[in-house]
Amino acid sequence: MKIVFVHNGYESLGIEYLSASLKAAGHETGLVIDPCLFDEAGFWRSAFLARRFSYREEVLRKVEALKPDLAGFSVFADTYSWALDLAREIKKRTGTKIVFGGIHPSSVPDAVIAEDCVDFICLGEGDSALPALAAFIVGGGPLPAGVWAKQGGAVIKGPPPSPPPDLDALPFPDKKLFSGAAPVFSVGYLISSSRGCPHSCAYCCNSVYRELYRRSGVPCLRRRGPENVLLELEGALKTGGPGFVHFTDEVFNSDPAWLKKFLPLYKARVGVPFSCFAFPDGRLAGEAAALAAAGCFKVQLGVQRFDEARRADLLGRRAANADIAAAIKALKDAGIYVTCDNILDLPDESEAELAALAAFYAANTPDHNEVFFLRLYPGTPLAARCPGREAAPGGLMRPAGYSPLAPARQRAFFTLLTLLPRLPAFTRRFFAARPWLFSFAGGPGLRVISRIFSRARRDFHTGRFLRLYAHFIFAKLRGNG
Ligand code: B12
Ligand code: SF4
């Protein structure tokens, strides 16, 4: 059977894993990329440029030419409208069966399966479910675990999903799928040494997955053995050698014993510079030197807000500011570039808390600040606490009005926090105390510019973002879209 995935301009490890499992089961897979230029899901959009550089027709023509038996979409809330639009048109032109998987169908399955163009949905990880669905389409039988189907207008549901308990038993992700689609995907190597997270923050998909897998008996957090990760990376080195590696693990430092064992082996057998996400717990500062020695050049930390009690109560994150400050210092002292994530527009935030956050960063300055406005994703405990106020699918990054502060005030803090690491050190305390000076600008454009000036070369996603735009804009201008 031929399964073609249609995806946006970001490499998806999920699709690469699915493709590998499908190929292992004897199926053929393909990928059609819609770069979604100037139409960045959940982030920003320029309607004029998005129309000028639209690849919609090219995508539809490619899918038609490939004649798939099944077209697959990996969907989250912000890409849902885009996926529905293409799925409807693909169905109209080809009659191909359509399957949606990923966090959005896993969070709101009833709404997604109700869509006219969606024949199947997959809840949770699809490594076994998708090959089983392909077998079901060909040969019938019982519906696989984690799959829902529409038959004759009725929805039938397979047994609840059960995620793969042993990640070492999975085939390595099919990297050729993306690198074959556009050269930009060969820059750097995206890998995960785990799935799931030990934490359950109230705004994050992991609380949704934990609930989904509750009855399966398989823990939400699973980690590959060091040997399995090293074998994958050694294989990648043999076929060209990526300039750097990015670990997409939710929390790369969640298992200190694993980290201690893995880092020296990585240094000896792979030795390529890498970046990762880490949780700023009490151990991270002590792990900084070992991370740097193994080649870690960038760590991204979630800080999210300043008030520790509210951080724990509203966001479900237990992290101490003293540990965060120690981690920022130790990582920077070890020569690691530090990025901190922050969320504004929280329903219980105050001017005093944002001012305290700015003062905290003036004293403990990371190399880069990512500032987001809260989006309440369906199925999360935080969305349940604010009924009727979920993020609209396809929305953009702007204050939704959860905070008692005026949007203009939040934008001033957005600009201040984004720019703070770029300001000369001796001026930071002065500016942190005067957020009104930053009422002039802001918005996602500033975030893009700040990222570009913050060593784009070393930032996995910004580097790819720039290359992707260059590749697809020139292709369009040359008429080779
Ligand atoms: C890496 C990552 C990114 C990367 C790459 C994203 C990409 N397009 O692939 C970057 C940094 C670019 C990114 C950006 C954003 N991201 Co992001 N990202 C993640 C993260 C941390 C890991 C994804 C991953 O690789 N998982 C590992 C693989 C193996 O799992 P998987 O992708 O889920 O796939 C498995 C299953 O879901 C299933 N499956 C998936 N697709 C399909 C399809 C079919 C047909 C089937 C059958 C099954 C199936 O099977 C797969 C294999 O088991 C997730 C959190 C998470 N744990 O999922 C957030 C997450 C997906 N991101 C999120 C968001 C909001 C964003 C941004 C909008 C943030 C922003 N404002 O800038 C942007 C949007 C970018 C874009 N336009 O795509 C949210 C989505 C929330 C929601 N409910 O919709 C998540 C869930 C984090 C969260 N807040 O909870 N992201
Ligand atoms: S630590 Fe990060 S990945 Fe884990 S639950 Fe919290 S927000 Fe999600």
The verdict on residue 201 lying in a domain is yes
Question: What confidence tens digit (pLDDT) does each residue in 197-216 have?
Answer: 999 999 999 999 999 999 89
**Do 306 and 386 belong to one domain?**
yes
b/e code 399-425 from CB counts within 10 Å (16+ = b): bbebbebebebbbbbbbbbbbbbeeee
The verdict on residue 480 lying in a domain is no
Checking if the pLDDT of 43 tops 60, the result is yes
> Which ligand has its closest atom nearest to the C-alpha of 254?
2
Residues having CB within 6 Å of any atom of ligand 2: 197, 199-201, 204, 206, 250-251, 279, 302
Predicted pLDDT of residue 184: 86
**Final residue of a structural domain among 134, 165, 196:** 165
> Which ligand has its closest atom nearest to the C-alpha of 302?
2
Q: How far, in Å, is the centroid of ligand 1 from the Cα of 309?
A: 29
**Do 238 and 149 belong to one domain?**
no
The H-assigned helical ranges of 95-225 are 103-107, 109-113, 129-139, 176-179, 205-212
Q: Are 84 and 117 in contact (CB under 8 A)?
A: yes
**Do 229 and 116 belong to one domain?**
no
Residues 56-79: what's their mean pLDDT? 97
Q: How far, in Å, is the centroid of ligand 2 from the Cα of 447?
A: 22
The verdict on residue 134 lying in a domain is yes
Q: What is the mean pLDDT of the chain?
A: 93
Closest ligand 1 atom, CA of 375? 65
**Do 209 and 343 belong to one domain?**
yes
CA 107 – CA 124 distance, rounded (Å)? 9
The protein residue whose alpha carbon is closest to atom 1 in ligand 2 is: 199
Quote the pTM value.
Answer: 0.96
Checking if the pLDDT of 447 tops 90, the result is no
Closest ligand 2 atom, CA of 304? 7
How does residue 460 score in pLDDT terms, banded at 50, 70 and 90? confident
How does residue 72 score in pLDDT terms, banded at 50, 70 and 90? very high
Predicted pLDDT of residue 438: 84
Residues 408-420: what's their mean pLDDT? 92
Q: How far, in Å, is the centroid of ligand 2 from the Cα of 252?
A: 11
How does residue 462 score in pLDDT terms, banded at 50, 70 and 90? confident
Closest ligand 1 atom, CA of 80? 84
**Do 342 and 413 belong to one domain?**
yes
3-state secondary structure of 270: coil
CA 318 – CA 305 distance, rounded (Å)? 11
What is the C-alpha end-to-end distance of the chain, expressed in Å?
28
Q: How far, in Å, is the centroid of ligand 2 from the Cα of 316?
A: 9
Q: How far, in Å, is the centroid of ligand 1 from the Cα of 417?
A: 25
> Which ligand has its closest atom nearest to the C-alpha of 249?
1
Question: What confidence tens digit (pLDDT) does each residue in 334-379 have?
Answer: 999 999 999 999 999 999 999 999 999 999 999 999 999 999 999 9
The verdict on residue 474 lying in a domain is no
How many other CB atoms are there within 10 angstroms of residue 449's CB atom? 14
Residue with structure tokens 């109700």?
A: 114
The protein residue whose alpha carbon is closest to atom 38 in ligand 1 is: 125
Predicted pLDDT of residue 443: 59
> Which ligand has its closest atom nearest to the C-alpha of 380?
1
The verdict on residue 170 lying in a domain is no
Question: What confidence tens digit (pLDDT) does each residue in 315-325 have?
Answer: 999 999 999 99
Structural domain total, the chain: 2
Domain that holds residue 285: 187-468
**Do 128 and 88 belong to one domain?**
yes
**Do 274 and 417 belong to one domain?**
yes
Distances from the Cα of 140 to the Cαs of 132, 145, 353, in angstroms? 10, 14, 58
**Do 151 and 219 belong to one domain?**
no
Q: How far, in Å, is the centroid of ligand 2 from the Cα of 250?
A: 6
Predicted pLDDT of residue 107: 96
Q: How far, in Å, is the centroid of ligand 2 from the Cα of 201?
A: 5
The verdict on residue 179 lying in a domain is no
Supply angle C-alpha 64, 66, 70, rounded to 5: 85
CATH number for the domain including 37? 3.40.50.280
